[in-house]
Structure 1
């Protein structure tokens, strides 16, 4: 694990897998790098790639100021991705984003096309957090109700946080054991932080307060690089219709639907996703 300093003086916490001289794959956190399973990073590295996963601002080991009032925009996060890719390799990189990180990836590919040679979008949608377009499926109402009914933990209590995240994962259709282990790792990386930072790291709540204007969906046809869209059939947070829309609106995009997956990337799908990414 090490840090990367952008030209805008932002510190990004990053982790490398594979040969640093191999073609670069940049994995955007959602919001932490641990949203990308180790098994997937290892599989990409075995496929001959230099894999770099990183934390977004106000998450993990990256610059943290105030997740309750972010002084940056979605466009700034997209610029971070481009700066990281250009700073690590002279060749355009394969950029991948999951969840809200997929929104960052779409904007980065549109605003910085010279930085990227391929794009992978996992479990995301073509509009910002908030009200969705009429033709896109929104969060499943019953699932949201059940998740909001789970009492919030004391965010500085490791065991309580892990149990809360595991309970939410089970409601969402994800593996609660994987979610609990990931929550514990995220917590351990932010020891000593105030409760709002733990909450931001676990839930990515900063996106509820982030300026994501202007819209980018109408620009998706501008994406000219090979694109892979991956979506879980059982995703109740961003239902699969969102991935289908991305695959329709990005020219020549390929859609991979994981029949047994929900919101998170399951470790058991690592090889399938890696193979699809390596072929993109």
Structure 2
């Protein structure tokens, strides 16, 4: 797990009073929200965030991660996390932004596009699923890798290939926030597992790009295909041989695909 010192940055206030940590890296272009995976802080994006520097990138910490609060009396769900994103946008005075969510962040992004269509420009969903009846389950052998006592080696193997790890020893920032409590970690796991936007995905109006690695065992690639079929006019792009963290393993191709899609869907045109 990533063990750098805690993050700094600003905070927004959620509807229930919880503080949501975030930061904003100003660029010349339109705002782009980057949403991390389950049980991870915004450090998830550290290795690739510079690829999107032409945009004003916004990253945040979900409840229980980074500098955000970890309230036990609050709702923890992908739909609630989407509301926290809106709190961050409101704090920044951003009326509309593109959204790129990966893994659980892709599930959060779905609710953003559904509940707040006027706030979302282009939508990019990576290594994720729609939940409910539309989910293609992972192999049961994968489940132990997501438990609190799983080794980083086990989780790393699901994220990227051994060859990639060996050649990028300092860039695997997707193994979880080591500062999380057991309560927060379990709450994240439940929130992601209980996500179910499947039946309403056809109501997404944002232009949508779906990205997925073909060797993803955590969220099988069939989930990407199903998402692209369920969301009107969605475009599917697959990365041959990439595992769950396709955006690291095939960084050049994945980031280029996102940038190309965003350049075709400026906020003034969507």
Cα distance in 2 between the residues matched to 1:211 and 1:33: 17
CA distance 1:168–1:7, change in 2 (3 Å):
closer
- Identify the match of residue 219 of structure 1 among 200, 206, 218: 200
- Identify the match of residue 4 of structure 1 among 11, 26, 36: 11
Partner of 2:87, secondary structure, is: helix
Partner of 2:154, secondary structure, is: helix
- Residue 81 of structure 1, CA deviation: 1.4
Q: Name the structure 1 match of 2:64.
A: 58
Query: In the alignment, does 2:44 pair up with 1:35?
Result: yes
- Residue 279 of structure 1, CA deviation: 2.4
Q: Name the structure 2 match of 1:196.
A: 182
CA distance 1:11–1:224, change in 2 (3 Å):
same
The total of aligned residue pairs comes to 246
CA distance 1:272–1:91, change in 2 (3 Å):
farther
Contact 2:210–2:228 (Cα < 8 Å) also in 1: yes
TM-score (norm 2): 0.78
CA distance 1:173–1:114, change in 2 (3 Å):
closer
Q: Name the structure 1 match of 2:23.
A: 15
- Residue 269 of structure 1, CA deviation: 2.4
- Residue 256 of structure 1, CA deviation: 1.3
TM-score (norm 1): 0.76
- Residue 184 of structure 1, CA deviation: 8.3
Query: In the alignment, does 2:253 pair up with 1:272?
Result: yes
Query: In the alignment, does 2:246 pair up with 1:239?
Result: no
Q: Name the structure 2 match of 1:261.
A: 242
- Residue 278 of structure 1, CA deviation: 2.1
- Identify the match of residue 169 of structure 1 among 156, 161, 165: 156
CA distance 1:7–1:26, change in 2 (3 Å):
same
Q: Name the structure 2 match of 1:249.
A: 230
Q: Name the structure 1 match of 2:138.
A: 139
Query: In the alignment, does 2:178 pair up with 1:182?
Result: no
The unaligned stretches of length 5 or more in structure 2 are 1-7, 262-270
CA distance 1:14–1:269, change in 2 (3 Å):
farther
How far does the alpha carbon of each residue in 1:145-173 deviate from its partner, in whole angstroms, 9 at most, with x for none? 6x48x9926xxxxxxxxxx2123222x26
Partner of 1:261, secondary structure, is: coil
Cα distance in 2 between the residues matched to 1:13 and 1:98: 19
More moved, 252-261 vs 77-86: 77-86
CA distance 1:76–1:136, change in 2 (3 Å):
closer
Contact 1:138–1:239 (Cα < 8 Å) also in 2: yes
Partner of 2:69, secondary structure, is: coil
Cα distance in 1 between the residues matched to 2:194 and 2:140: 25
Contact 1:169–1:179 (Cα < 8 Å) also in 2: no
Within a 5 Å distance, the mapping from 1:87-126 to structure 2 comes to 87-126=91-130
- Identify the match of residue 88 of structure 2 among 84, 88, 93: 84
The unaligned stretches of length 5 or more in structure 1 are 154-163
Cα distance in 1 between the residues matched to 2:209 and 2:142: 27
Cα distance in 2 between the residues matched to 1:236 and 1:247: 19
